[in-house]
Structure 1
Amino acid sequence: MLIIILIIFVAFILQAGLGFLQLQNFTHHYQTLRRQGRVLIGRNPKRFQAGTLLLVALDQDGVIRACQLMKGVTIFARFQTITRFNGQRFIELVTDYKQLAPEPRLLRQCLLNAYQTLIKYHSGQLNEHDFSDQTNFFDLPLVTYARIRLQRVGHYLKKVGS
């Protein structure tokens, strides 16, 4: 019993340490893009999918200067540069269905989430939830991944048992 508790404690500490490194990675990329202009952050609002975070740097005219995407289930996810949006006006990009349709679903969701946040900002409707920095332990990527796996095992056992 003591060994199981110790293993859980070590896993929790490891998760916290690697999560800290991921936060440092986010901070580095955010600051890099911030030097180029305003930065919009889009995220995938779904819980049971790969976590996705999008950073979009805009100049004063709303033209995309740089775009980076972090997608993954684990804390080892890293940002990838997306250059195909550079030079486009952000609002025209997210409101043009023909341009968004061929993009991956998670990227589209992040772009639309960033657009939604931009609209809320301009209309003065941002609320405390939009700025919340609180992290629920059960929403951490590794915990979410384990929960999904356990649910799948449970569904499988139900099928086998019936």
Structure 2
Amino acid sequence: MIQLIILIILVWALQCVFTLFQLKYFNREYINLRKKGFVLIGKQRSRISRGCVILLLITRDGEILDGKVMNGYTVFTRFKTLAFVKNRNIMENWEDEKIDSVIKKALYNAQSNYIKELEMLNTQNIPA
């Protein structure tokens, strides 16, 4: 019984360590995009199925200049280029796209975040 408890603690500790590495990797990718301009983050979280995080480099008008997606089940997942979003507007309807539903939900989350950001700028009377 003690061996099982030790094994569970060890697996949990490894999960924490690998999560820290993934966060460090995410921050590095975010900072690299942030140096180029405004970055939107879209996410689709799930405890059981796979999750998805999207980083979109956009102009203030909503034109997407670059996109990256991290989509998978484990902490070993890495960012990949999201080529089909380049030179498109964040406010487009993504329903007709033949893409994974998890990526689609993350794109809609990024849209929602963009709308919230615009509303916040408008309430503070800051020009977009």
Q: Is TM > 0.5 for Structure 1 vs Structure 2?
A: yes
Amino acid at match of 1:5: I
Whole-Å Cα distance in 1 between the matches of residues 77 and 94 of structure 2?
A: 29
Partner of 2:118: 122
Percent identity, aligned pairs only, is 28
Q: Establish whether residue 18 from structure 1 lines up as the match of residue 14 from structure 2.
A: no
Structure possessing the higher radius of gyration over alpha carbons: 1
Q: Which runs of 5+ in 2 are unaligned?
A: 121-128
Asked if the contact 2:43–2:106 (Cα under 8 Å) also holds between the matched residues in 1, the reply is yes
Asked if the contact 2:52–2:106 (Cα under 8 Å) also holds between the matched residues in 1, the reply is yes
Go from structure 1 to structure 2 and tell me whether the alpha carbon gap of 1:47 and 1:15 turns closer, same or farther (over 3 Å shift). closer
Alignment of 1:1-162 (within 5 A): 1-91=1-91, 93=92, 95=93, 97-98=95-96, 101-124=97-120
Asked if the contact 1:39–1:58 (Cα under 8 Å) also holds between the matched residues in 2, the reply is yes
What is the count of residue pairs matched by the alignment? 120
Query: Pairwise CA RMSD of aligned residues?
Result: 1.6
Q: Please, what TM-score do these two structures have when normalized by structure 1?
A: 0.68
Q: CA deviation at 1:74?
A: 1.2
Q: CA deviation at 1:88?
A: 1.6
Q: CA deviation at 1:45?
A: 4.3
Q: Which runs of 5+ in 1 are unaligned?
A: 125-162
Go from structure 1 to structure 2 and tell me whether the alpha carbon gap of 1:45 and 1:21 turns closer, same or farther (over 3 Å shift). closer
In terms of fraction of residues, the more helix-rich structure is 1
In terms of fraction of residues, the more strand-rich structure is 2
Q: Please, what TM-score do these two structures have when normalized by structure 2?
A: 0.84
SS at match of 1:90: coil
Go from structure 1 to structure 2 and tell me whether the alpha carbon gap of 1:86 and 1:121 turns closer, same or farther (over 3 Å shift). same
